[in-house]
Amino acid sequence: MNTIGHLINGEQVNREGDRHQDIANPSTNEVSARVCLASRATVDEAIAAAQAAYPAWRNTPPIKRARLMFRLKDLLEENAEKICELITREHGKVFNDAMGELRRGIENVEYACSIPELLKGEHSKNVGPAIDSWSEFQPLGVCAGITPFNFPAMVPLWMWPMAVACGNTFVLKPSERDPSSALFIAQLGLEAGIPAGVLNVVNGDKEAVDTLLTDSRVQAVSFVGSTPIAEYVYTTGNANGKRVQAFGGAKNHAVVMPDADLDNAVNALMGAAYGSCGERCMAISVAVAVGDATADTLIEKLKEQIAKLKVGDGMDNGNDMGPLVTRAHKKKVEGYIAKGLEEGAELVVDGRGLTVPGFESGNYLGACLFDKVTPEMTIHSDEIFGPVLCVMRAKTMQEAMDIVDAHEYGNGTCIFTRDGEAARYFSDNIKVGMVGINVPLPVPVAYHSFGGWKRSLFGDLHAYGPDSVRFYTKRKSVTQRWPASGVREGVQFTFPSNG
Amino acid sequence: MNTIGHLINGEQVNREGDRHQDIANPSTNEVSARVCLASRATVDEAIAAAQAAYPAWRNTPPIKRARLMFRLKDLLEENAEKICELITREHGKVFNDAMGELRRGIENVEYACSIPELLKGEHSKNVGPAIDSWSEFQPLGVCAGITPFNFPAMVPLWMWPMAVACGNTFVLKPSERDPSSALFIAQLGLEAGIPAGVLNVVNGDKEAVDTLLTDSRVQAVSFVGSTPIAEYVYTTGNANGKRVQAFGGAKNHAVVMPDADLDNAVNALMGAAYGSCGERCMAISVAVAVGDATADTLIEKLKEQIAKLKVGDGMDNGNDMGPLVTRAHKKKVEGYIAKGLEEGAELVVDGRGLTVPGFESGNYLGACLFDKVTPEMTIHSDEIFGPVLCVMRAKTMQEAMDIVDAHEYGNGTCIFTRDGEAARYFSDNIKVGMVGINVPLPVPVAYHSFGGWKRSLFGDLHAYGPDSVRFYTKRKSVTQRWPASGVREGVQFTFPSNG
Amino acid sequence: MNTIGHLINGEQVNREGDRHQDIANPSTNEVSARVCLASRATVDEAIAAAQAAYPAWRNTPPIKRARLMFRLKDLLEENAEKICELITREHGKVFNDAMGELRRGIENVEYACSIPELLKGEHSKNVGPAIDSWSEFQPLGVCAGITPFNFPAMVPLWMWPMAVACGNTFVLKPSERDPSSALFIAQLGLEAGIPAGVLNVVNGDKEAVDTLLTDSRVQAVSFVGSTPIAEYVYTTGNANGKRVQAFGGAKNHAVVMPDADLDNAVNALMGAAYGSCGERCMAISVAVAVGDATADTLIEKLKEQIAKLKVGDGMDNGNDMGPLVTRAHKKKVEGYIAKGLEEGAELVVDGRGLTVPGFESGNYLGACLFDKVTPEMTIHSDEIFGPVLCVMRAKTMQEAMDIVDAHEYGNGTCIFTRDGEAARYFSDNIKVGMVGINVPLPVPVAYHSFGGWKRSLFGDLHAYGPDSVRFYTKRKSVTQRWPASGVREGVQFTFPSNG
Amino acid sequence: MNTIGHLINGEQVNREGDRHQDIANPSTNEVSARVCLASRATVDEAIAAAQAAYPAWRNTPPIKRARLMFRLKDLLEENAEKICELITREHGKVFNDAMGELRRGIENVEYACSIPELLKGEHSKNVGPAIDSWSEFQPLGVCAGITPFNFPAMVPLWMWPMAVACGNTFVLKPSERDPSSALFIAQLGLEAGIPAGVLNVVNGDKEAVDTLLTDSRVQAVSFVGSTPIAEYVYTTGNANGKRVQAFGGAKNHAVVMPDADLDNAVNALMGAAYGSCGERCMAISVAVAVGDATADTLIEKLKEQIAKLKVGDGMDNGNDMGPLVTRAHKKKVEGYIAKGLEEGAELVVDGRGLTVPGFESGNYLGACLFDKVTPEMTIHSDEIFGPVLCVMRAKTMQEAMDIVDAHEYGNGTCIFTRDGEAARYFSDNIKVGMVGINVPLPVPVAYHSFGGWKRSLFGDLHAYGPDSVRFYTKRKSVTQRWPASGVREGVQFTFPSNG
């Protein structure tokens, strides 16, 4: 059986002290490989490699670092099919959806190609008489990234290309559930010319995470995962003197106004709620309809669309949804559905009990639709991370907004309306970091930045885009004054006018 | 006796549950007033006032907020003498030096006047077909500032004018040692038109600090003080879900190269080492001479200059140095001098035992100069915060830089040289956040940002300047797409071509 | 009789060779003063003063230049009543409207206060190994401004405060029709601390303009006026090696959609069409109604509003409209009204023949409203610059946009609608530089920039705001590399390891 | 014989009405091809193609336009050898030098890859209550580029990739002397996916130029060439309503200070003076030595180096210099040498009369070195564009700077010194647009911008880098306010509280 090891100092390795864990295909639950779980010593080795590679990399001109990103983009495009197969086989999402994920990841590499522009500091002449001052954005040193199972290729690509382009070296710890695509992509990074040690990957679990969080050589940590772990990572990392940004959970509401184009909204919601089985931190998991008439029509149209959804193995692009990532996760989602019924929500469409012919052991669950969900229900307060859409009913737009604002998470939200004023009021006032106006998944493009508010993000700076340049560098301010009476005037004495 | 209370919701108040502490003039140790130490309930009241004032203030157009800053600048200039007298009477620094502090503080108000420019977000057309995206930098809500005794007027002005200009409301807790200037300035803020509740001041000690750090309504905390407290504030604030920037201690080295203009360097060092009795986080407390010849000359010239230093009451502008802030602090500094001798440093000039006629009870200490200080000595590892300059000797520039880089602090540093290459190598490689080239106190101007590296700063973003706009706002990303088939095409059907 | 001279090198002067012209109050046509028309020699003198003042001013740190702008803002606010009286007495506009003009002018001074921020260049470390590069935005030298009668205070304030804040010196030639407010404001500039020679004013006509356009010491010219003169200024200035921006005429259309809130739109149009008698380059002079129903209602509502308009002397704030600027201009506007009737437009409201009791000799003309105006009519193709609003009728939004796009001018335009999609399509595609969505006069605020498209602007860079910083400075790129083997390594040889 | 035609609307074409001109290899003067010289009709056709392609291209999202630039970069790198052979065969420069040129050109394509970042506008919330404003940088339409013989590949790559990335369509007219590389590169652009009509190339002479300058569909023209033509292009283009930037001649001085590392400076000067036979607008053609001692040593060392220079066919990378571009140009350069002698300069090294074995008919001229050149000599006032370095002698740095500042051109200059103060004084005060500190050819990198001062540039905005984004777009300001009482409040009435 295939063993998935680490990438340390330019070499694929596995080490004696590591433990191991099985990797299974979610569509069949057949074990395809085992992944090494790095011991503290193995992580130490990766950090040491990154530390050793730092001085030379830091001094490499940004344009040279950028050129490796240009090359990496090409390699990612050339190897897209292979990468997406790795994603689908380990994560379960439909191949086309994996392609979408990878495309978004590549966009971050494209953005990193502009690093010479992005690193420009501010230069001020004459802050005082003949005194100049400027700022430099210098790299931090060794940075680490800890990434989740749900976007195994994209989230690592949010982090290390920009970190490395900024002049840092990096240790990535991908999800131990589906590590292969991230590892393969890192290998392409080396092939693109990133020097050994500049980019390292360690597979692992809590032991690896804790090593990264406590080692004094690690200067910064980027994390994406659930809110409790995000908070742990943020607090622990900070207590150990690191810069940390930790992205946590979400519960994203779509507010549907009476004037919305409902066919349009329903199409948008279908993809946003059920795409990738709802295992996305930007998935829309709640639709808040303003007015009962709006809600009734919405439910009807959603039911019609759900009836047409195709669920099956992710390698078949004809399918709309694949399996959930693990059997345990499927059980957890089913538990939420039972809880929703118990607490009084109306299960309009029940996706439980689905069997996919030929994939009877897969972690399949059909699309579920709840109506009449209320704010205090567990299916509203918790992030389910499954194919479950909750419809809530509000009498007014303000009531809908109050529901959104009262939630502990504030990652993404959207509104469906034609009305300029409603859209502006919503986007101005809603306490959520990423807002869509008739856009169901308002994930910012790679040249803007990604980040939620409230307990969806611990840290000051958002992911990727301009903020990531700031996160992966520290400001240095230089103030300069040159004393007079040097060579300039000196020469006048040397060569007097009769010279 | 005068009681110094709080400024809450537009009113000067003191509350039953508060404790009190005496304020003494450092030049005489006479008690001039007592300051209230806010109870938890008093701080709660200030936070509640700030919270209530937030919604309306947030919606006030930035240009209107800016105009209050323009007015505040005028009021600060009109009241400069009064403010500086308050500073000198409570802190001890020479009046002219207080004027310099205030001037720096006003520069931050001037910068806040440009808030409409500084709040501009990024707008992208066509991130996809007919889809636009932009970023907004929205205020956080209630912010708090906790400030130190050594710049009682300036450091509060680093914080609240920009926080308030960004649309936040604010609770300031100044040093309980010298609170009057900050309180008076806040009162001027209200006079300038800042609405009641937008800006509040509470005086207090640890109880007040802990209330600010744990109250869930407080969104962000800016702190300046010693490193242990800075770390406590950072960790506690973060654990309570706040954005925190905490500025700590410093040990700032000047590297003096053999080609430096030594008269120039010595003049610069005198002010940088002994100005405000060395009670500045940007004071130069160590001079690292490269080469024994450089060191010997440096010592000679410093001795000459020290002999001319005038020490006395701060209200007399003829003096160069006033008293230390408290008797306890004077003792602490004297303890360091003794320790330095004990550990083998050479005390070239001994400022102990100084008596100022007419001010015999004041906390006076003359300028002290140590030679042959080595890295492991306590007088090198600790921040003394007194009029003590340590000279160290390095054989090479690299050795000098290694001394700087090995220190736990990384606030400021400077180099004296004429050589372009030495300056560039130094500023590029030194692990310090603020670097001067022939500039002894490289405090960035108000339109750049202030921040150290290593254990001199906990947090991602620097103080004042562009970074403070980022600190006092959070990014919101909006993505917008308008569905077709609206009024635009609709009209075409209403008025057909034969219309 | 009062003679209005020039401000040259800090002195109010008039010179022998100058000619003169009368200044009359438009409300009475009484002559109040005579203005000097500078000879070539007088203009030469002003340029020479500006040239002499340049070197020292250029080297003055930007923050010091900014502080004079802070002071100027205060002085303008303190003298607002006096300035506005000067405007109303010479231009005729209602006092309150003059206040609005001045307010807009002061906003440009406020923006100039942030010049240290605005002058920041870009700094790049390591454009090659140990090679750095940065940009500086250096002032140009002597700049000139030539400004129109219709905003005698505001347009000069668009120009010289930013030019001067950037480090240039300036010669202003205001309109000879209403020069007093600009001259008085310049005097306040000197009072604020602007050194003699840095800011000069010459009154004059074509002789003065031509001198400014051809003198080789003048580096740049900003002009606002009619399109034929703008084109002449641009071409002549360019041919004489100057940087020029020349703002010309306008014909600004409001497109009114069937879904617009018509009461709102009518209120907006009233002010935009008739405010300041339509003598504004951003006045709305055409309303394009989409659909006959929209047009009919619009006409009805406009008629009602026009009936309530109060026309009279500008010093009475109870009036909505004052007189036109000159008798000649009134004649010209009346000529257009006759031409409109002749070409077949329907004059719904005829403002001709109006007499204002007590001001029978004033240049008064009541509000006029044309319906059924078509694109080829002279009243549509020409800028009338009077209180004449033309209503046009379009069957579709596209037809309305085609009318706007076919016009030779492209200064401002607006749309009235509630529909997000219509607004976005309009603002994206319309070939006009300044676009309002439910905003009738989309004059950008001072921290954005003002400029039309097509034949409304000759030049690359817009007026005021960020563009004006660019216009009044030129880029310098510096690339720096320091040779090794200097003092840094040298010291190592001097002090070997056995030192 | 090969005929070099045009690239119009995606097709390589030649047209009946065109005239023709021979292309010869400068190393042999053998004719290798003939190039079409477009008639007015042919240029019209290209403009029409660009005009037709504009609407769709303008609406293509910037990220899609960027992706073609990524692809173009790859194609340029894959075809580098072929491109450089085309350059060397038609221009004469050494193959390695052509590679350097191409590399610089590709850097501009890399910069254009970041167009989504570069096109970001400024977004301001609440410029008034609930009023927002933002700026868009929209493309201009059809743009044209007219490029010189000396960088046949690079200068076109300065222009069209950014113009096209900004959403414009383009007509390029390369030098008719060496058009093949530009034509081939444009073909690669199409291969990269640029749609037919978006990028067109016409070969031609004055007839083509004049057509581009007068056709009303052309919105903007970028030109690089000699100063008289640049001025003609600027004036003519402006008079025809176009935006124009026109780069002209240069005379670039290196100031050599007594403290400079002379070996270093001499090495730098050799390449800067004689590389590409001096046929570069950034070539150093004058060295101003400060002090006779400096001058004497400089001359000695230059003589030594010149003796080692290898001159020969450009396809042999062992050579340092190839032939001049044409026989006529060689004659012109020889004329300047004779003139220099006649006017009293001292010809220290005479490169005339050189014969290269095997290439006896080539336009060869050896390196020439003049000493004791004075400001008024023709060899100092004129741009020679040949392998001729003039040494001048100044007594002081100020005198050296005065020589530079008095020259009509102000393209590039540099200083050789170790002294920080001398370097800062020079770069601050010298009246030249591009300044090197110990960098002989201070051509800014692609992410800064290129442009001279004085008569070296006509226009406000520099070439490539950030300025080029500004040049190839125009600002649109949008101000938006949404009327209240829409769907948001409406819903509240529809569903009252007892709903």
What's chain A's Rg over C-alpha atoms? 25
**Which residue from C462, C479, C486 is facing D442, i.e. has the nearest CB?**
C479
**Which residue from D422, D488, D492 is facing A425, i.e. has the nearest CB?**
D488
Please indicate whether, in this complex, the C-beta atoms of A258 and D291 are within 8 angstroms of each other.
Answer: no
Catalogue the active-site residues of D: 281
C-alpha atoms less than 13 angstroms from C-alpha of B22 in its C-beta half-sphere: 9
Nearest chain A CA: its distance from B479 CA (Å):
5
Q: In chain C, whose CA is at the least distance from the CA of A132? A: C61
Please indicate whether, in this complex, the C-beta atoms of A470 and B460 are within 8 angstroms of each other.
Answer: yes
Instruction: Provide the total of helices (H) and of strands (E) in chain B, helices listed first.
Output: 17, 23
Average pLDDT in the D250-268 region? 96
Please indicate whether, in this complex, the C-beta atoms of A243 and B460 are within 8 angstroms of each other.
Answer: yes
| Mean pLDDT of the residues in chain C | 96
**Residue D497 with chain A: CB contacts under 8 Å:** 395
Please indicate whether, in this complex, the C-beta atoms of A424 and D482 are within 8 angstroms of each other.
Answer: yes
Average pLDDT in the B355-378 region? 98
With 0-12 CB in 10 A as exposed, 13-18 as middle and 19+ as buried, what is C318? exposed
For the cut 70, the answer to whether the pLDDT of residue B105 exceeds it is yes
**Residue C427 with chain D: CB contacts under 8 Å:** 476, 478, 480
Nearest chain A CA: its distance from D154 CA (Å):
18
* pLDDT per residue as tens digits for the range C145-179: 999 999 999 999 999 999 999 999 999 999 999 99
Nearest chain C CA: its distance from A472 CA (Å):
16
Q: Which two tokens stand for residue A285?
A: 């998991």
Active-site residue, from A143, A277, A281, A368: A281
Question: Side chain identity at A333, as an amino acid letter?
Answer: V
Residue B347: the pLDDT is: 98
For the cut 80, the answer to whether the pLDDT of residue D487 exceeds it is no
Q: In chain A, whose CA is at the least distance from the CA of B456? A: A241
Please indicate whether, in this complex, the C-beta atoms of C127 and A119 are within 8 angstroms of each other.
Answer: no
Q: Which of D277, D253, D198 is nearest to D401 (CA)?
A: D253
Please indicate whether, in this complex, the C-beta atoms of B257 and C487 are within 8 angstroms of each other.
Answer: yes
Please indicate whether, in this complex, the C-beta atoms of B235 and A235 are within 8 angstroms of each other.
Answer: yes
Contacts of D307 (CB under 8 A, 6+ apart): none
* pLDDT per residue as tens digits for the range B19-52: 999 999 999 999 999 999 999 999 999 999 999 9
Subunits with 3+ Cβ pairs within 8 Å of D are: A, B, C
Residue B1: the pLDDT is: 74
- Give the number of A-D residue pairs with CB atoms closer than 8 Å: 142
Average pLDDT in the D7-16 region? 96
Confidence class for position D39, pLDDT limits 50, 70, 90: very high
Q: Which of A162, A85, A148 is nearest to A462 (CA)?
A: A162
Confidence class for position B486, pLDDT limits 50, 70, 90: low
The CB density around residue B457, as the number of other CB atoms within 10 Å, is: 27
Confidence class for position B297, pLDDT limits 50, 70, 90: very high
Average pLDDT in the C212-228 region? 98
Q: Clarify whether C113 is annotated catalytic.
A: no
**Which residue from A62, A129, A437 is facing C61, i.e. has the nearest CB?**
A129
For the cut 60, the answer to whether the pLDDT of residue B494 exceeds it is no
**Which residue from B122, B136, B437 is facing D120, i.e. has the nearest CB?**
B122
Q: Taking the mean position of all CA atoms in its chain, how far away is CA A16?
A: 32
CA dihedral C462, C468, C472, C475 (to 10 degrees): -90
For the cut 50, the answer to whether the pLDDT of residue B208 exceeds it is yes
Nearest chain B CA: its distance from A218 CA (Å):
13
Residue B484: the pLDDT is: 78
Residue A490: the pLDDT is: 52
Residue D483: the pLDDT is: 87
Helix ranges (DSSP H) in A434-482 = 465-471
Please indicate whether, in this complex, the C-beta atoms of D125 and B136 are within 8 angstroms of each other.
Answer: yes
Please indicate whether, in this complex, the C-beta atoms of B419 and D421 are within 8 angstroms of each other.
Answer: no
| Mean pLDDT of the residues in chain A | 96
**Which residue from A59, A120, A417 is facing C122, i.e. has the nearest CB?**
A120
Average pLDDT in the D227-251 region? 96
* pLDDT per residue as tens digits for the range B121-141: 999 999 999 999 999 999 999
For the cut 80, the answer to whether the pLDDT of residue A485 exceeds it is no
What's chain C's Rg over C-alpha atoms? 25
Residue carrying structure tokens 């940590």: A221
Give the integer Cα–Cα distance in Å for C414 and D481: 11
Residue C92: the pLDDT is: 97
Residue D278: the pLDDT is: 96
Residue D493: the pLDDT is: 38
Q: Which of B340, B336, B402 is nearest to B373 (CA)?
A: B340
Q: In chain D, whose CA is at the least distance from the CA of A427? A: D125
For the cut 90, the answer to whether the pLDDT of residue D432 exceeds it is yes
**Residue A134 with chain C: CB contacts under 8 Å:** 123, 134
Nearest chain A CA: its distance from D18 CA (Å):
41
Active-site residue, from B277, B281, B368, B414: B281
* pLDDT per residue as tens digits for the range A400-452: 999 999 999 999 999 999 999 999 999 999 999 999 999 999 999 999 999 99
Please indicate whether, in this complex, the C-beta atoms of B484 and C421 are within 8 angstroms of each other.
Answer: yes
Q: In chain C, whose CA is at the least distance from the CA of D237? A: C235
* pLDDT per residue as tens digits for the range D192-220: 999 999 999 999 999 999 999 999 999 99
Nearest chain B CA: its distance from D70 CA (Å):
18
Q: In chain C, whose CA is at the least distance from the CA of D260? A: C483
* pLDDT per residue as tens digits for the range D75-126: 999 999 999 999 999 999 999 999 999 999 999 999 999 999 999 999 999 9
**Which residue from A107, A395, A424 is facing D495, i.e. has the nearest CB?**
A395
Subunits with 3+ Cβ pairs within 8 Å of B are: A, C, D
Q: In chain B, whose CA is at the least distance from the CA of C428? A: B125
Confidence class for position A484, pLDDT limits 50, 70, 90: confident
* pLDDT per residue as tens digits for the range C98-152: 999 999 999 999 999 999 999 999 999 999 999 999 999 999 999 999 999 999 9
Residue carrying structure tokens 């400027």: A134
Nearest chain C CA: its distance from B488 CA (Å):
5
Please indicate whether, in this complex, the C-beta atoms of B448 and A124 are within 8 angstroms of each other.
Answer: yes
Residue B485: the pLDDT is: 64
With 0-12 CB in 10 A as exposed, 13-18 as middle and 19+ as buried, what is B96? middle
Q: Is the ipTM of this complex over 0.90?
A: yes
Please indicate whether, in this complex, the C-beta atoms of C117 and B447 are within 8 angstroms of each other.
Answer: yes
Active-site residue, from C166, C281, C368, C390: C281
Confidence class for position A486, pLDDT limits 50, 70, 90: low
Q: Which of B479, B481, B485, B487 is the mutation pick for testing A, counting most A CBs within 10 A?
A: B479
Please indicate whether, in this complex, the C-beta atoms of C124 and D447 are within 8 angstroms of each other.
Answer: yes
Please indicate whether, in this complex, the C-beta atoms of A123 and C126 are within 8 angstroms of each other.
Answer: no
Largest CA distance in chain C: 104
* pLDDT per residue as tens digits for the range A161-219: 999 999 999 999 999 999 999 999 999 999 999 999 999 999 999 999 999 999 999 99
Largest CA distance in chain D: 104
Please indicate whether, in this complex, the C-beta atoms of B122 and D124 are within 8 angstroms of each other.
Answer: no
Please indicate whether, in this complex, the C-beta atoms of D127 and B418 are within 8 angstroms of each other.
Answer: no
Contacts of A288 (CB under 8 A, 6+ apart): A253, A254, A255, A256, A391, A392, A393, A394, A400, A403, A404
**Which residue from A61, A419, A420 is facing C127, i.e. has the nearest CB?**
A61
**Residue A257 with chain D: CB contacts under 8 Å:** 487, 491
Please indicate whether, in this complex, the C-beta atoms of C395 and B495 are within 8 angstroms of each other.
Answer: yes
Q: In chain A, whose CA is at the least distance from the CA of D427? A: A125
* pLDDT per residue as tens digits for the range A295-353: 999 999 999 999 999 999 999 999 999 999 999 999 999 999 999 999 999 999 999 99
Confidence class for position D485, pLDDT limits 50, 70, 90: low
Residue D392: the pLDDT is: 98
Average pLDDT in the C220-238 region? 97
**Residue B257 with chain C: CB contacts under 8 Å:** 487, 491
Q: What SS3 class is residue B137? A: strand
**Residue B420 with chain D: CB contacts under 8 Å:** 417-420, 423, 437
- Give the number of A-C residue pairs with CB atoms closer than 8 Å: 73
**Which residue from B443, B450, B478 is facing A427, i.e. has the nearest CB?**
B478
Give the integer Cα–Cα distance in Å for D17 and A75: 47
Instruction: Provide the total of helices (H) and of strands (E) in chain C, helices listed first.
Output: 17, 23
Domains and CATH numbers, chain A: 2-248+456-478 (3.40.605.10), 252-437 (3.40.309.10)
Average pLDDT in the B186-207 region? 98
**Which residue from C124, C434, C460 is facing D243, i.e. has the nearest CB?**
C460
